Structure 1
Amino acid sequence: MTRHLSSLQFMNTFSTKLEKALNNLSLAQYPPDAVRSMRKFTSTEVAALLGVTEAYIRQVSLKGQGPEPETTATGKRLYSVEQVLDLRMHLAEKARKKWINPRRVKGEDCQIIAITNFKGGSSKTATTIHLGHWLALRGYRVLAVDMDPQASLTSLQGALPGFDYREGDTLYSAIRFDDPVPTEKIIHQTHIIGFDVICAGLELTEFETAVTLEMRKSGGTSFLLRVSQALEQIVDSYDIVLLDCAPSLNFLTLSSLTAATGVLIPVPAHMLDVDSTGKFLELAASYMQILDEAGAGARWDFAKFLITKFEANDHPQANMQALMRQVFGEDLLLNSVSKSTAVADALTWKQSLYEVQRSRFSAPKTYDRAIESINAANAEIESLITMAWRREQ
């Protein structure tokens, strides 16, 4: 029997159609001549970001100190993201609050955090973008690196000026074995001050083949150092680097885990996701044993599990959360990230919740619950970073 459907024709047809449709959608959201900008923040939000009272922010403004905010007809003060950073640095000069300028100081290493799991759909990219934006708004210098050929983190940046993955403008250019480019050449600044990105594309899959060929020629585990060597070139410019890993334990993920100083494993509280995470850990352990025996084992400041997409009123999820708490103990973050249509909507708009105006949501309280959940988890992760720096709070 002759089968009529050509696999090549099928794949080519729909990859082309889908790419065209998504490009058109992206152009509608962000035309080539559009300049993407961050929303402005109320004095209440600014006070929360700076860790001071709103009354103090108002007092500073009335005295004519720090940046001059925009004042609406109703008297509300609005600050741009650049002004939030300027105000932070202004207050830091007065040293009224310790670590109001949180950037690392001499003796504190750049924290490189790998966000990883076997399972697709565990919210790795959502975790990365929200953690990255939170840390940037908190005053840190953040670099987010897309390690996934599917390039979801890259897609969330919208139309980055000058970026074209087909022209080699991805991480692979900096980690390839033959003629790698300087890492600084593939870094893109975003519309959020303090938040830069290194993008991904399909060519990242070539790293797997390149490693195989390199191992045939020279053997050993030198491929594990490719990501750390690329990052070493630019870490002096950043406080925190976030690695958004692919949902697989491939050579690139192993190289990322070797470069990392900390690891974050997002896990939805569902049986299949937890079971998949168990298999991920088992496989990772077998690889780590081999690497330890070869003298290339990874050492981290912390490794934590984070429950994502959590619905507290769902009894099976509540039971699974209890099981995870029993198994993981203190290595499971206290705060879970709630499942929310607000997050799904924001990501559809290629934005994090920090970028979207609360008024854009038809049910603002849904936004409030989602942002409260994400803020709590991000604050807990931030505390892990400052603990690694051995800071006294």
Structure 2
Amino acid sequence: MAAAPTTITLLDTLSAWPWPRQVNPHREDVSIASGQWVQSFGLFSPKAQVAFNRCDFGLLAALAYPLLNKEHFRSAADFMAALYCFDEYTDQGDEVFVRQAADIVKDALRNPFKARPEGEMPIGEVFRQFLARTVPISSTSVRQRLVETQERAMDAQVQQCVDRKHDFARNSEEYLAIRLHSSSMLPSYVIMELDIDVPDEVYYHPLLEKLRYWGFILICIDNDIFSYNIERARGQALHNWVTLIALERNIAIQEAVNYLGSLHDRTKDSFLEATKNLPTWGEPIDSEVRRYVDGIGNWVRANYEWSFESRRYFDTHGAEVRGTLQLTMLPKVQSCQAQISPGVAAAKSSYLLSEVGLRPNRQT
């Protein structure tokens, strides 16, 4: 049996990405206000609140939405925080609890000006207040897209919870179908439209659909590579693309990282080529589309920068890891019994399962 690696080499995936790092000038004031808003709900224990603060979602919003005015940016910061709140609030819950929380959030999004029932879990009020603040500063089409895409995200989060609770490993195609929505990237793109006007007939153009998807793929690859170490340590690596590639292709973790790096390069090429050949609808629509596409490109950059600058993945070592691209593997704290999707053909490798902290119990 091969020895488990003690380090993995990360990839400088955005060295030639044409969208530079930008930060919203209202970051400091809005981050403080948004953070205090989240804390007012009492969702977290003191320890969990510290973990929330370490993630610095105000920074993520500032990087992702550098051009929004202060009012719009507050909605963006609240949305980033609300997404984390749902993840953490439901992380230890069973399927019934997570479904209940998801349904409450969906109802709150549909009824942002309706008081929530007394005694209801507070996650509904978090999303209700977010949308109530956002409705007056957004168009009808933006509100509709935001609610629809986040409702799909809630359903995907429930499925993700079910998979995790049953230690079920999906193949890449199945994983991406869920992850596209569970990541909330589609509603996160919609937040960009608070000051961009893209008509429906343009928004749903096949090329813009591809650009949204390719942006998601680039973000997903970077996110899953950066988060793999801590998810593996916690025994939660089944919902991570690095793990699934290693199992599907029967390769080591470093090889899986490199494989995803090559896919990242190919996806970047497709994205950049498409941005050179955007359809034209005449002004002012063409300028709005250009801003929207730039927003997707900037989101890819924002996720990458935030991953190193916050303490979510690398604690206080982000600058060091970014400089060396060497990541020391954390010790595994638990081992799960994995149920493997029929599409994960390489799950016979006991070494690979052991490496990600799993024991095989294949379903065929």
Give the structure-1-normalised TM-score: 0.23
Larger strand fraction of residues: 1
Of structures 1 and 2, the larger Rg is shown by 1
Q: Highest relative contact order (Cα 8 Å, sep 6+), 1 or 2?
A: 2
Larger helix fraction of residues: 2
